[in-house]
Amino acid sequence: MGAIAAGAGLRTEGRAGRGERFEHHRNAWFIVFEARPGEVDRPVRFSTHPAPEGSRDVRRHKGSLLPVPGPRSMLASALRPGAALAAALAALALAIASAAALLVVDMNRQAVQDVERGLVGLSAVLADQADRSLQAMEMVQDAVIDGLREAGVATSEEYAAAAGRQDLHLALRARIAALPQVNAITIVDHAGKLLNFSRYWPIPDVNIADRDYFKALAADPGRGRFVGRPVRNRGDGAWTIYVARKVSASDGTFLGLVLGAVELGYFEGLYRQISPTDDAVVSVFRDDGMLLVRHPHRAATIGKVLPTAAAALIAARDRAGGVLRNVSPIDGHERLVATKALARYPLILSVSRTVEASLAPVRRQAFVVGASAALLVSCIAALSALFLRQARALRRAAAAEERARGERDLREHCERFGFALDNMIQGLCLFDADRRLVVMNQRFAELYAVPRHLREPGAKAEDLRRVVLSLRGEAGGDWDMVVTPPGSDAPSLTASVVRLSDDRDVSVMRVPVPGGGWICTHEDVTERRRSEERLGFLARHDALTELPNRVQFADVVARELAICAGTGQEAALLCLDLDGFKQVNDLFGHPAGDRLLVEVAKRLRGLLGERCVAARLGGDEFAVLATGLDGRRTPATTARAVIDALGAPFADGERRIDVGCSVGIASFPRDGDTCERLLSASDMALVRAKRDGKGGYRFFKPEMDAAARERHQLALDLRAAIGTPQFALHYQPQFEVATGRACGFEALLRWTHPIRGAIPPTLFVPLAEETGAILPLGEWVLREACREAATWGLPLGIAVNLSIAQFRQADLCDVVRQALAETGLRPDRLELEVTESLFLNSAARSQEVLGDLKALGVRISMDDFGTGYSSLATLQSFPFDKIKIDRSFVGQVGVTSKGGAIVRAIISLGESLGVPVIAEGIETEEQLAFLRRHRCAEMQGYLRGMPRPIAEYLPLLAAEVDLRVA
């Protein structure tokens, strides 16, 4: 971009290139673009930065020069010696001192916490060890006491005889040989006389009636254990504590004691080995504050009660133990003490360390921290003096450094500007007032393959325009905007699109520059144009088949109907729906279904004439508008041609797919004069065609409209009837075939219309499933049936039918659970009947829901067995509680041999699987006799009871009535 010059307070210029130079004026940078001498008289100047507020407006010739602030030295303003530096140093020294003090305090606190944690842990371990040591000895005492009780000792004489045996002495001696902490096990009688002694035989004549533990246990009948004060053993003089256990007869008579002697020297030796430091003290106190064991040993303190000891103070606050900082009454040192009470004995274990020894390492560290802080402050002072000496030299270098930095920053800025310019998505050209090129980016040159000599600054706009016009295509566009200056009245920021000979679209925009000249941008919008065309196509066509969609079809039909109305021609609108398309999706997947729809669209396009149009209305529903009809080409022949074309097999890879279609026909103008009316009429005809049998066509008839309106009104009445007395439950009894006893009822929904009277279930149930009203109806039936069954005197079962729509509910299990909870009905009395068609589309989901329902405790019955698609596979996949034979098979019993064979086979199948079978639709005695002969479990039908209100079956519900039915 050229040379760069800088200088504080100076104006410098450097030639950058043809018609371009940089200027610096009073700490402001400029990029000045101007034409060569003799070729311009009005230069154009641009700044790299906006001018700051208050900057000077510099004029050169007739062009404006906008001043821009340059880099300012921050170092020179920061180097201010004197008071500010002194204050900063003082603040820094204070901060260092404060930080050092806080650090020392925190170190001291942390050290105390660490010592306390270590003491707490050690005390817990030693307390557990002491507890286990005493417990091991007490197990020997328990064994002796249990042996005396098992021997049935009841008197003092029996006690003395049993306790004075030599074999007991040998057993005690063997038992304590493995317990180093136990000195001896002694058995004494009620008078304090030794009866057995693990250390000697024969037994010495010693009496211990004067001991505190003997007095305490002999005097207190409710006390069974006592830990005595330490005493010197009368045998060897060693300090010993005794754990005494009382022996009583079954009537509570005091017979004697079993003593366990523990030498305190064992614990002192143990604590001597594990003492963590020389200043550590490990002690064992009785819960009344008496010192029993201490390491290091102090003979004068053993056996004394020390109320001011830390163990006593902590026990008064918390029996379990704790931590305390206290002056020891024994050695007078301030100590950190942790105590832990033994779990099974009235003893407290104490571990302590002197505060002086605990904090000695911290104090050494505190000295190091303080010395370091002082040394750091001294270093700061020395560095500050050095800084002050060098400040003047740095200030002298500041100006030169500022200039160099400014030049470097501007160079980097210009490089970034050039990089951004060349990487714009638009092609850009800047022209001056004399129509000379100032700047052209790389994208513009690539867009029009501009020769290299026309890319240089100073190239004429006319020459560049001729290059661009050579690429002009045949299509229109405002080519007057291309490489020409905008007029004074031209709208700002208005783009025009021109098309090139290679079918590219370019958006051109021009912006005038103050002082003369202009900037133009050229952007390739070909892909955008194609995307917009594609979006426009998709807005009116089906994305999969590319047939017109409903919107486009309506426009085409309206146009063609207008033509037919003017010429008097007839037209027909065919609405067609594929037969079996859902099974294709279910069996082969949706991608196969999509490929089938594409092939259907291709066949329709090949079948229709010039003025006929086909459209996809949604899913597998298509529409065809047939025009140009005559005696040979009628709506019927067109419909038959469509059915034949789509009835031919479709090849999907190696797979052959057979589907058909049904067609509904509406004629213009007889059945309607608008697209909407014709579509409605053909749709009603399509419904009739599918109802009468798939693969055919039906013409619209006026009575179809009346039937559709009547069906619509009935759907409205059905929704309005929900929650009113119009709906009621009737109950049909079910009986055991072998005994004739009633075993349950099936709840059946009935609707009494206020005007039409009773509406058959075969009419309103499919309508409810179609409109979605089956969900609230089904939930009401479930709750009402459970509520009614809960009031019966006998725990008979209640069967409720579930529709496929209910199974698609995400909260079906919650609905059943809530109905059972609200009515109080036992889950095993509720039987939910499902059909085999439930497993056709989503077997895995259906099994999961049935499993959740069965987990509630309800029973699951398969209804209409034998009429579905995969009966045996369904029985194998889920453990049903009952199989119900469809009435269509039962009705053939006694009429045809095949009917009886099918019923017999189903009963045998259920018997083999261990699933009870119920036959519905029993209307004759001959059918009932057939079921008895072949051991069918249950029956249901008009022969023994029609669906009626439950009040008519009250005798069957009474507990005292014989339930057998003749």
Mean predicted lDDT score pLDDT of the chain: 81
Percent of the chain whose pLDDT exceeds 90:
19
Confidence class of residue 795 from pLDDT cuts 50, 70 and 90? very high
User: Would you state the pLDDT for residue 182?
Assistant: 84
Q: How far apart are CA 119 and CA 791, in angstroms?
A: 70
Query: Which helix (H) or strand (E) segment is 378 a member of?
Result: helix 355-422
444-502 residue pLDDT tens:
988 888 999 888 999 998 999 888 888 887 666 778 788 888 876 666 667 788 888 88
- Beta-carbon-side half-sphere exposure of residue 629 (alpha carbons within 13 Å): 21
CA-based nearest residue to 226, from 166, 121, 138, 113:
138
Amino acid residing at 277: T
Tokens representing residue 103 in the block = 């650090």
Query: How much is the average pLDDT of 862-887?
Result: 75
| 290 DSSP assignment | B
Is the confidence at residue 83, as pLDDT, over 80? no
Confidence check: pLDDT of 324 > 70: yes
Q: Do 635 and 572 touch, CB atoms closer than 8 A?
A: yes
Which residues, listed in sequence order, are joined to residue 440 by a DSSP beta bridge?
A: 429
CA dihedral 865, 867, 870, 873 (to 10 degrees): 10
| CB contact at 8 A, 192 and 208 | yes
* pLDDT for the residue 67: 40
The encoded tokens of residue 470 equal 């050579």
pTM of this structure? 0.41
Which of 817, 785, 821 has the alpha carbon at shortest distance from 801? 785
Give the best-scoring range by mean pLDDT among 162-171, 461-470, 738-747.
Answer: 738-747
Q: Are 727 and 717 in contact (CB under 8 A)?
A: no
pLDDT at 839: 66
User: What's the mean pLDDT in 101-106?
Assistant: 86
Amino acid at 329: P
Phi/psi of residue 262, each to 5°?
-115, 120
**Confidence band, pLDDT 50/70/90 cuts, at residue 825:** very high
**pLDDT classification of 425: cutoffs 50, 70, 90:** confident
pLDDT at 491: 62
pLDDT value at position 492?
A: 60
Q: Give the whole-angstrom CA distance, residue 744 versus residue 728.
A: 19
pLDDT at 241: 83
- The answer to whether residues 284 and 348 touch, using CB atoms and an 8 Å cutoff, is yes
User: At residue 918, does pLDDT exceed 90?
Assistant: yes
Identify the three-state secondary structure at position 732. Answer: strand
Report whether pLDDT(344) > 70.
yes
* pLDDT at residue 81 greater than cutoff 60: no
Tens of pLDDT along 623-682?
Answer: 999 888 877 888 888 899 899 988 889 988 888 888 989 999 998 988 888 999 999 888
Closest CA to 141 of 185, 178, 203, 179: 185
- Exposed, middle or buried by CB within 10 Å (0-12, 13-18, 19+), for 85? middle
What domains sit in the chain, N to C, each tagged with a CATH number? 11-70 (no CATH), 132-263 (3.30.450.20), 427-531 (3.30.450.20), 541-700 (3.30.70.270), 717-957 (3.20.20.450)
The segment with the largest mean pLDDT, out of 49-58, 844-853, 922-931, is 922-931
Length of the chain: 966
Higher pLDDT, 539 or 384: 539
Task: Give the pLDDT band of residue 823 (cuts 50, 70, 90).
Answer: very high
Segment (H or E) for 241? strand 239-248
Lowest mean pLDDT among 375-389, 481-495, 812-826: 481-495
What is the pLDDT at residue 856?
Answer: 92
Considering only CA atoms, which of 359, 309, 303 is closest in space to residue 331? 309
Could you tell me what percent of the chain has a pLDDT over 70? 87
785 pLDDT more than 90: yes
Regarding predicted confidence, which is higher, 163 or 384?
163
Within the chain, what is the greatest distance between any pair of CA atoms? 147
Across 230-249, average pLDDT: 78
In the predicted structure, residue 947 carries a pLDDT above the cut 90? yes
pLDDT for 741: 92
Residue 156 CB burial class (10 angstroms; 0-12, 13-18, ≥19): middle
In contact, 647 and 704? CB cutoff 8 Å: no
Question: Could you tell me if 334 and 326 are in contact, meaning their C-beta atoms sit under 8 angstroms apart?
Answer: yes
CA within 13 Å, CB half, 532 = 6
pLDDT surpasses 60 at 808 = yes
The one-letter amino acid code at 494 reads T
Distances (CA, A) of 782 to 275, 391, 720, 800, 815: 76, 94, 19, 7, 9
Which pLDDT score, from 0 to 100, does residue 919 have? Answer: 92
Specify which of 264-268, 795-799, 843-847 reaches the highest per-range mean pLDDT. Answer: 795-799
| Separation of alpha carbons 838 and 812, rounded Å | 15
Task: Give the residue, 122 or 963, on which the prediction is more confident.
Answer: 122
pLDDT for 89 equals: 75
Hunting for tokens 């031209």 — which residue is that? 490
Q: Is the pLDDT score of 946 beyond 90?
A: yes
User: Which of 267, 323, 261, 337 lies closest to 295, judged by CA?
Assistant: 267
pLDDT of residue 937: 92
pLDDT of residue 234: 62
The answer to whether the beta carbons of residues 241 and 182 sit under 8 Å apart is no
Between 87 and 111, residue with greater pLDDT: 111
Among 338-342, 370-374, 628-632, the range scoring the smallest mean pLDDT is: 628-632
Neighbouring-strand partners of residue 24: 12, 29
Q: What angle do CA 294, 295, 301 make, to 5 degrees?
A: 35
Please compute the mean of the pLDDT values over residues 736-761 and round it to a whole number.
92
Mean pLDDT of 517-546: 87
Residue with tokens 């040591």: 133
The answer on pLDDT for 532 being more than 80 is: yes
User: What pLDDT, on a 0 to 100 scale, did the predictor assign at position 737?
Assistant: 92
Which three-class secondary structure state does DSSP give residue 591? helix
At 420 the pLDDT is 80
3-state secondary structure of 90: helix
pLDDT for 64 equals: 36
Per the CB < 8 A criterion, the answer to whether 311 and 285 are in contact is yes
Amino acid 17: pLDDT: 40
Q: Please answer whether residues 837 and 804 qualify as being in contact, where contact means their C-beta atoms are separated by less than 8 angstroms.
A: yes
pLDDT score of 21 more than 50: no
pLDDT value, residue 249: 84
The least confident of 294-303, 656-665, 923-932 is 294-303
The angle at the Cα of 410, spanning 407 to 411, to the nearest 5 degrees, equals 85
In this prediction, residues 941-947 reach a mean pLDDT of: 92
CA gap 256, 214 in Å, rounded: 9
